[in-house]
Amino acid sequence: MKVPEITAPSTSKLYFLKEVYYGFRPNPPQFRPEHYPDLTGKTAIVTGCNTGIGKYVLELLYQKNCRIICVVRTQEKGEQAKNEIITANPDSNGAIDIVGGCDFLDFEKVVIAGKKISELLDQTSSGALNIVIHNAGLTWLVAPNSPKSSVQNYEAMYQTNVLGPQLLQHFIDPYLLKEDDISLKRLVWVSSAAHFFTPEPYGIYWDDPGFKNTPLEQRPKGMNLYGQSKTYNIYQAQAWYDIHKEQADKIGCVSTSCYPGNLSTDMSRAWWPPFVTAAKLVVWDGVYGAYSELYCALSSTLTSKDSGSYIVPFGEIHDPREDVKAALTNGISREVWKFCEEQISEYIP
Ligand SMILES: NC(=O)c1ccc[n+]([C@@H]2O[C@H](COP(=O)([O-])OP(=O)(O)OC[C@H]3O[C@@H](n4cnc5c(N)ncnc54)[C@H](OP(=O)(O)O)[C@@H]3O)[C@@H](O)[C@H]2O)c1
């Protein structure tokens, strides 16, 4: 990709420090489970909900009688989470379907999962889909020994966090954008404050964002690669809305990005145990991340004019970094989306 010619605004260290501090000491959640509406008859898709934040999201939605289609990499892990949640919540009238095998590191597998989701929704009499949360995500911290590149040879976090979800969304769009149950239509792209740890301008490694042609030892640090992928998520929320604006406005669909918080989840599974214990003193329980994501998915204070917003813990709209904010309105988020479309074009249905 070419470096954009549009000059980016300068970034402020003070804003960076303020936002990083805020991530550790956010305002308490104002929109909590007791405020969530009853979700009987509503359907949600949540990715990566066998563990971490996604599993809390799954349980909170299920407690409100929602039907959730869980898109996971490993069927057995999904079934285990499903059984635990159903057993712990016997009074729910919700339902949980597991779509396993969706490994974002392989586009072929995303296509298979996308088709399974379509089949499941087609089997439902209304086929209405209300909520989509692209929660699954890979950080360099999770599994230091896991593959650094995808099956299609992209840098692993770029494909897992960006290209894979964008491809999956193509299978979901016909349902989310349908004018059926328009009392609730939400799309959430889970991002992070890690977007602050990216190069200027605009948080993208413009030469080769997917690092297809860059040897491992010449790639930037994991934190920066993760940050780039999470910058894309902010752009995806805006670009998806811009592209679908007419229909999204008609059905009141809100597309936001969400930084869920600094949280104790399975993300720390590969850390040195004493470090995990120490980290727990400054981070929040994983359920708080679910409060952030479910603010995006359920809060009635959000309307389609809030599409493109960057939601921070535990349910507030803030600005992303100055240049990233500018990219939401100066056409760059659309350019970046287009570039990703080119990477996945042969798999798009
Ligand atoms: N925890 C934090 O402090 C924090 C902060 C900012 C943003 N976030 C974001 O929040 C989201 C959830 O994170 P978490 O903390 O709940 O992490 P987590 O506990 O590590 O859970 C990550 C989920 O993503 C799935 N996943 C990872 N790689 C995948 C792949 N290649 N294909 C399909 N699924 C894959 C995992 O599946 P497996 O179980 O099969 O690996 C798991 O279900 C992520 O997008 C993350 O970037 C988290």
> Residue with the nearest Cα to atom 35 of ligand 1?
136
pLDDT reported for residue 4: 87
pLDDT reported for residue 144: 64
Distance CA 72, CA 52 (A): 12
pLDDT reported for residue 158: 97
Ligand 1 neighbour 53 (Cβ under 6 A)? yes
Ligand 1 neighbour 54 (Cβ under 6 A)? yes
pTM: 0.97
Distance CA 20, CA 126 (A): 43
Q: What's the full length of the chain, in residues?
A: 349
What domains are there in the chain, each with its CATH number? 13-347 (3.40.50.720)
What ranges make up the beta strands (E) of the chain? Answer: 43-47, 67-71, 95-99, 131-134, 186-190, 254-258, 263-264, 284-285, 310-312, 316-318
Question: Rounded to the nearest whole angstrom, what is the distance from the C-alpha of residue 179 to the centroid of ligand 1?
Answer: 31
* pLDDT profile of the chain (349 residues), mean per 10: 89 96 96 98 97 97 98 98 98 97 98 97 85 94 78 96 98 96 97 96 94 89 95 98 98 98 80 73 91 98 96 98 98 97 97
Neighbours of 108 (CB within 10 A): 10
Atom of ligand 1 nearest to the CA of 142: 20
